[in-house]
Amino acid sequence: MKEQEKQMFQTILQQEMDQKADRVAEQVIWGRIEAGLEVSKKKRKKGKKAFRLVPALALLLVVCLGLGGFGLQKFGLISPPMGTVGGTGDEGMDAPGEEKDSAGSLDGDPGDLGDGDFIFDDFFSESGTGDGKYESIIGSEDAVPETAPESTGSDEVASSSSTATDTNDVSSLLTAGRWNDNMHFSDWRSLIDGQERDWSGIRALWGIQPVKRLVVTVQNEKEKPVRNASVTLFSGEKILYAAKTDNKGVAYLFAGAISGKEKTADRVVISVGEEEKEIRLSKAEQKKSDHALLVTLNADSPAQKLDVMLMLDATGSMGDELSYLSKTLEDVMNRVVRQNGNLPTRLSVNFYRDTEDEYLVRSNPFTNRIKEACDILASEEAADGGDTPEAVDAALEDALKNHTWDEEATKILLLVLDAPPHEEAEVIKRMQEYSLLAAKMGVRIIPVLCSGGDTSCEYLMRSLAMMTGGEYVFLTDDSGIGGSHLKPTIGEYKVEKLNDLLVNLIGEYLQ
């Protein structure tokens, strides 16, 4: 009896092992086939539809599975079964906070910033505040695998580690750098005031030139920073610029950032709720090119909340990196939610292409259901296009006017793109208008420039980031993924995994 029981047990065990091997084989083959296609894809010409091989892949899968899990290992088609990556115990939790799904228009007409009569000024002094924050260069990270296996996920929350991810995870493959021109303002002024033809011509083209600024820091009587305070710069009764303070109580104002009539700013008004203070600028202060003010108000910051919007270029030229970006941004949002406990967090995932494409902007409202938003992110494919410029202006219009941002939240807009907007007069005017509107609303624009980006796009994105208190992010060639990436005209910087960089960057706006 004991011998029969032993044989029966071995038979059952063998059957279970065979079934498990088949399941592992199916997962590994699918992951390798899909990731292999993504890695081998070259940058597709715009105008081509996404390439689909579903029937062929399905047939290949059936044939492979017919061999059985151990047979696949024998013929070298798969590696032995690997253990699955464990979660953090938080899977299944959406971001805390009340859900708001309805989109709506925003109060605040861009005309309030000057009705098209944009003004130059003659104040602020020439002094940089560079802090050397990113002054060391790190070489390429760990070697990138030939294929990128598709990460697994739980039923409720897309897979993501709450800590830095490893190189075997698709979400950790892209590499990037970051640069804050407000922290290196004297370098920025030297660059665009220099004799380089490319920069002077681009500056004139876009009519956006943030070269004279006022930095206002707002604190309360306990010397704690006041977040979300409204700061408005005037010339007489004319509004030159408006901004919101960040989590450190700092607002950046650039009178004369938009080409137009020159005037001198003479006062600044700071308000929080019913508390308001006006500061008159002296003649000496008016002449400075970079000036700082510290203001104390009897006020406190509102409760911390977070709104993150993803606005991605989904034209054909993004095909070499879009799938990687989707996994990376999914990982970023899951980690941000986990690392910030009960912080009410909402996410809006949006895509844009160009005129005469399948769609201009594919828009989705803010939601605290992070898993559902990430599902939308993963479902999009790169297609259409036809020329280099894309509808960036339409993307910003939708982002700022067609969504209901939480007035009290920290507001971050990740603008992922590889091409500038069209160089038409009406488009340029809208880009100027939306840069001012984003600053007024307190929406921090963080551009992420992908492969194929040019110097014109770099200049425009760095200007938008600086004017809104954001930061410029750019992909690098260190990952070996996608086409060639533009080397930015900046100082020394650190190469990081894109997902880790963005998690840290968003975290800095919440500290």
Average pLDDT over residues 101-120: 38
Q: What is the pLDDT of residue 49?
A: 38
Q: Flag whether 369 is in a domain.
A: yes
Same domain, 345 and 441: yes
Same domain, 436 and 331: yes
The identity of residue 400, as a single letter, is: L
Is residue 384's pLDDT more than 80?
no
Q: Flag whether 144 is in a domain.
A: no
**What percentage of residues in the chain have a pLDDT greater than 70?**
64
Last residue of a domain, one of 74, 108, 130: 74
Same domain, 255 and 367: no
Kindly report, residue by residue over 258-309, the tens digit of the pLDDT: 965 556 899 999 999 889 999 999 998 988 889 999 999 999 888 899 999 9
Is residue 78's pLDDT more than 90?
no
**DSSP-derived secondary structure for 428-493:** HHHHHHHHHHHHHHTEEEEEEE-TT--HHHHHHHHHHHHHTT--EEEE-GGG--SS--PPPSSS--
Q: What is the pLDDT of residue 492?
A: 94
Same domain, 191 and 234: no
Question: Which of 54-68, 153-167, 378-392, 421-435 is the least confident region?
Answer: 153-167
Is residue 502's pLDDT more than 70?
yes
End-to-end CA distance of the chain: 68
Kindly report, residue by residue over 203-215, the tens digit of the pLDDT: 889 999 899 999 9
pTM summary value:
0.71
Kindly report, residue by residue over 301-356, the tens digit of the pLDDT: 888 999 999 999 988 878 888 899 999 999 999 999 999 988 999 999 999 998 88
E strand intervals along 183-302: 213-219, 230-235, 238-244, 250-253, 261-262, 267-272, 275-280, 290-296
Same domain, 332 and 415: yes
Kindly report, residue by residue over 219-241, the tens digit of the pLDDT: 999 999 999 999 999 999 999 99
Give 90's pLDDT tier (boundaries 50, 70, 90). Answer: very low
Question: Which of 33-42, 99-108, 192-201, 412-421 is the least confident region?
Answer: 99-108
Same domain, 291 and 317: no
Give 17's pLDDT tier (boundaries 50, 70, 90). Answer: low
Q: What is the pLDDT of residue 152?
A: 30
- Of the spans 140-154, 175-189, 262-276, which averages the highest pLDDT? 175-189
Answer for the pair 51, 35: CB distance below 8 angstroms, yes or no.
no
Triad 453, 164, 411: Cα angle to 5°: 60
Same domain, 289 and 328: no
CA–CA distance, 78 with 71 (Å, rounded to integer): 9
Is residue 143's pLDDT more than 60?
no
Last residue of a domain, one of 52, 74, 96: 74
CATH code (residue 256): 2.60.40.10
Average pLDDT over residues 387-403: 92
Q: Flag whether 127 is in a domain.
A: no
Q: Flag whether 158 is in a domain.
A: no
**What percentage of residues in the chain have a pLDDT greater than 90?**
51
pLDDT higher for 99 or 484?
A: 484
Per the structure, the complete domain to which residue 399 belongs is given by 169-205+303-508
Q: What is the pLDDT of residue 252?
A: 98
Average pLDDT over residues 409-430: 95
Mean pLDDT of the chain: 76
Same domain, 198 and 328: yes
Same domain, 194 and 256: no
Answer for the pair 217, 252: CB distance below 8 angstroms, yes or no.
no
Q: Flag whether 35 is in a domain.
A: yes
Last residue of a domain, one of 266, 296, 326: 296
Is residue 253's pLDDT more than 50?
yes
Look at the chain and report how many structural domains it folds into. Answer: 3
Same domain, 238 and 380: no
Q: Flag whether 132 is in a domain.
A: no
Q: Return the closest-CA partner of residue 510 out of 342, 273, 369, 296.
A: 342
CB within 8 Å of 390: residues ≥ 6 apart: 313, 315, 352, 353, 354, 417, 419, 420, 421, 422
**DSSP-derived secondary structure for 85-112:** PP--S-TTPPPSS-------PPS--GGG
Q: What is the pLDDT of residue 318?
A: 85
CA–CA distance, 189 with 207 (Å, rounded to integer): 15
Same domain, 330 and 449: yes
Q: Flag whether 358 is in a domain.
A: yes
Same domain, 186 and 245: no
Average pLDDT over residues 149-169: 41
Q: What is the pLDDT of residue 104?
A: 36
Q: Flag whether 183 is in a domain.
A: yes
